[in-house]
Structure 1
């Protein structure tokens, strides 16, 4: 049984249906002539205007609105009436993280100095989504230059709040993308993930997040943090939505969704990693509830889908820390400078059209220690970065070899070992994926103390469809979908 084929969506019960609609729902509503793309686009824009900046703790999820969004929606409606559909996203609005180029809106990377920076190109991922009929609605707030993974704060939009409790962090760096979807500002959004920056915000918004294998999705047209680890990935409400969306991001070159549909989870083997729970530093009672919920979900996965479970003691916390190493973050400044120098763009009058990272951090939300470390980094290539890259490649090979030798298809582990807190909302073991280039899918499994929690499914690099197939099975065994509360909710 494949859950991507068999799972039926439950009836929406949220305060607003716009916080429930999936891409598949909107496609059906337009096919059945119940809504037009213009009506859908206007509804989302109205919600952004009404709710994003409202209240004592605003969500601050959106940076810029595409002024042509309504015109694009009208054009897609005209094409539909004429019998021409561009593709599966025809007339569907989506949100773009503000470090991804989308012609017509600024690409700010969360930096105040880039408020008027307007690349004249679409990033390839955006170009492919437009070709499939999608409409860029707006850009989403992010941790400045995608650096922080535990909160989303930029010098251009401030801090993005967690929709489940606006006093808490939304995670980072794609916090604006995740909150935009959870708040009903769009059915799906693009984020970027360098070390948990898609899966982390997704879990803390009760959503599905997909980090594809490194190099499987073009990074062109994306303001880099570290090209060694940066990946573009979607955040949405269902595994089906993000799998289809990811296929379209690549122009259908990978057929992840189709392959995942044809994959029977009963033919796969997984290992459940419990050691990430040891990283929790919050409330012991919350952590215990999270562990119990994760254990029960894994037990249901075995019971309902007959997926074979095996142990993998070799993949312990020491292996992840010592073997699966990161890039060293030695390439940030040089990569950002190269992007700004090479990307065709225009600025508002009176603004330098070719700024450098050093120019931009005169006003920044980045901490001074990070700024000074990046400014002091040697130009590429340099020995430190070469050594870090070599360690990364060795770690990727080590993970793939270990899984192959033991006959293990996917790893399952808690996306975060703790619920979101006011000062942070992190991940538990994001480095397993980001430090090796492996694909990972975060799936919500319930709530603890009113805050969402989830499991991540990771496969070996290049095995994205296996991760998606098992993620769909996890989604199918969850008793109740995680529902975002009304706008502006704060737990008492």
Structure 2
């Protein structure tokens, strides 16, 4: 796919001023360069296209380039020349996961069965990005139908690789977004998270990832995996950048009524939370369950203990250990539509989609052989296929009980947040599905709707493979979590770019 699009890329364009460093830039630095005329939106966009052309054949993060990206950049440059003002994300180049609707770009969910499908409208979050002045440069590869937290592989684009070691995985399912942002193929990105899929790629790619409170960002226009747990959010190289993107994409959307809950609970921006002394006086609970597992990698454990010490040194009070309540998983037999119902609802809202139901997708045979059984098992008997979707996070009795139990325990101990290693093991080798995985993200946030932020906490395996630390808080506590994560980030500065993908000359 990318090779066919390379003629669209003008490889000879360079940055106007060599003093502007594209690699590892931040939103603040990029916009300062724009206002001081050290660069333009077009030059920024071209520079990222050039990096994609040079480096993406190794990583395979891109499914579809945006052929209008340079034209979009030109329009933003013209606007700035007239207004002398920048919108919140003007000129910021964004990679968008391929399960977000984009009205001008193919949207496939990673499946060949959806090849060529172009929605008629943007997903709500994508529309908010564009309104903020962001430039969508491409759609990123993902685990097909967002099924895998371990591997980013799709029938539409193949396997995405980890920029810190291309023989390893970037986690799933938002691994294409994660790997591209880590390798500076885009400035920031959008992912989705059902059980892991923002936080896992953040941990494996030395990034900051925010899984927002369910209800803070709209799911409208996102191909679903499990509407009860799905949520979209940012992947970025810094806490400040992730917070800026979150501020731009959040908000009430009538097409996703659960977002009504966010009204009055979310600030317009999070800059007030970017306090380098934000850990002073904070009370943080350690979920030691995710540190002391028999298969936890010793280096991950050591990094986590060092992170705890770093939090203490910045003035946090550590409560060790926070014991999780039991989660009653309930009956195993499906009693609601689940993936099939949610996907069929999405497809019904998109009459131009090439397949109209999960059954048609299965019949097409256009999917990875490795997910065939899961697709078929997701197909409910005809009598159940049209039942209502599963109860959402705020109406499922067992999730309510679990959330209330955690909240009550946090309240009793006066805790501001919980922490644990995002993954207890380093990224696996591509093709390895047997060694310990170590995903710790599937329970607390998905089963409560609570927000969580993953921040880099160092490297393992001869200082080559990233690891992440997760902060979890109560519903709509993003400002507090951003404050804690930012203070930790500023005290430690663990983010490092992947050495194999340096600045181009």
Per the normalisation by structure 1, the TM-score is 0.86
- Following superposition, the deviation at residue 246 of structure 1 comes to 0.0
Equivalent residue for 2:459, pick from 410, 433, 447: 447
Q: Quick check: 2:97–2:177 contact (8 Å CA) kept in 1?
A: yes
Deviations 1:364-386 (A, max 9, x none): 12523211210136325369879
* Distance change in 2, residues 1:474/1:132 (3 Å): same
CA distance in 2, matches of 1:152, 1:325: 30
* Distance change in 2, residues 1:269/1:173 (3 Å): same
Q: Which residue pairs with 1:164 in the alignment?
A: 164
Q: Quick check: 1:441–1:456 contact (8 Å CA) kept in 2?
A: yes
- Following superposition, the deviation at residue 194 of structure 1 comes to 0.1
- Following superposition, the deviation at residue 233 of structure 1 comes to 0.7
Q: Which residue pairs with 2:427 in the alignment?
A: 420
1:308 aligns with 2:317: yes
Q: Which residue pairs with 1:342 in the alignment?
A: 349
Q: Quick check: 1:209–1:236 contact (8 Å CA) kept in 2?
A: yes
* Distance change in 2, residues 1:40/1:72 (3 Å): same
* Distance change in 2, residues 1:231/1:320 (3 Å): farther
- Following superposition, the deviation at residue 183 of structure 1 comes to 1.5
Instruction: Report the 3-state secondary structure (helix = DSSP H, G, I; strand = E; otherwise coil) of the residue aligned with 2:167.
Output: strand
Deviations 1:219-266 (A, max 9, x none): 000000111000001000000000111011025972251452479432
1:247 aligns with 2:247: yes
CA distance in 1, matches of 2:337, 2:373: 14
CA distance in 2, matches of 1:307, 1:167: 38
Bigger mean CA offset, 460-469 vs 107-116:
460-469
CA distance in 1, matches of 2:129, 2:184: 20
Instruction: Report the 3-state secondary structure (helix = DSSP H, G, I; strand = E; otherwise coil) of the residue aligned with 1:40.
Output: helix
Q: Which residue pairs with 2:367 in the alignment?
A: 364
Equivalent residue for 1:260, pick from 273, 280, 289: 273
Q: Which residue pairs with 1:432 in the alignment?
A: 444
Q: Quick check: 1:327–1:385 contact (8 Å CA) kept in 2?
A: no
CA distance in 2, matches of 1:326, 1:130: 42
Equivalent residue for 2:380, pick from 373, 376, 386: 376
- Following superposition, the deviation at residue 412 of structure 1 comes to 0.8
Bigger mean CA offset, 135-144 vs 404-413:
404-413
Higher relative contact order, structure no. (Cα contacts within 8 Å, ≥ 6 residues apart): 1
Equivalent residue for 1:459, pick from 452, 455, 473: 473
Aligned residues: 455
- Following superposition, the deviation at residue 479 of structure 1 comes to 5.0
CA distance in 1, matches of 2:478, 2:229: 16
Q: Quick check: 2:338–2:390 contact (8 Å CA) kept in 1?
A: no
Per the normalisation by structure 2, the TM-score is 0.84
1:402 aligns with 2:402: no
1:472 aligns with 2:486: yes
- Following superposition, the deviation at residue 275 of structure 1 comes to 2.0
Deviations 1:30-81 (A, max 9, x none): 121111000010111111122212xxxx311110111111100000001111
CA distance in 1, matches of 2:337, 2:317: 40
Q: Quick check: 2:240–2:274 contact (8 Å CA) kept in 1?
A: no
Q: Quick check: 2:103–2:122 contact (8 Å CA) kept in 1?
A: yes
- Following superposition, the deviation at residue 358 of structure 1 comes to 2.0
Q: Which residue pairs with 1:109 in the alignment?
A: 109
Structure 2's unaligned 5+ residue stretches are 1-19, 253-262
Instruction: Report the 3-state secondary structure (helix = DSSP H, G, I; strand = E; otherwise coil) of the residue aligned with 2:448.
Output: coil
Deviations 1:388-412 (A, max 9, x none): 9332222222222221222111001
* 1:169-184 paired onto structure 2 within 5 Å: 169-184=169-184
Q: Which residue pairs with 1:332 in the alignment?
A: 339
Instruction: Report the 3-state secondary structure (helix = DSSP H, G, I; strand = E; otherwise coil) of the residue aligned with 1:52.
Output: helix
Q: Quick check: 1:66–1:136 contact (8 Å CA) kept in 2?
A: yes
Q: Which residue pairs with 1:27 in the alignment?
A: 31
Q: Quick check: 1:206–1:444 contact (8 Å CA) kept in 2?
A: yes
Structure 1's unaligned 5+ residue stretches are 1-15
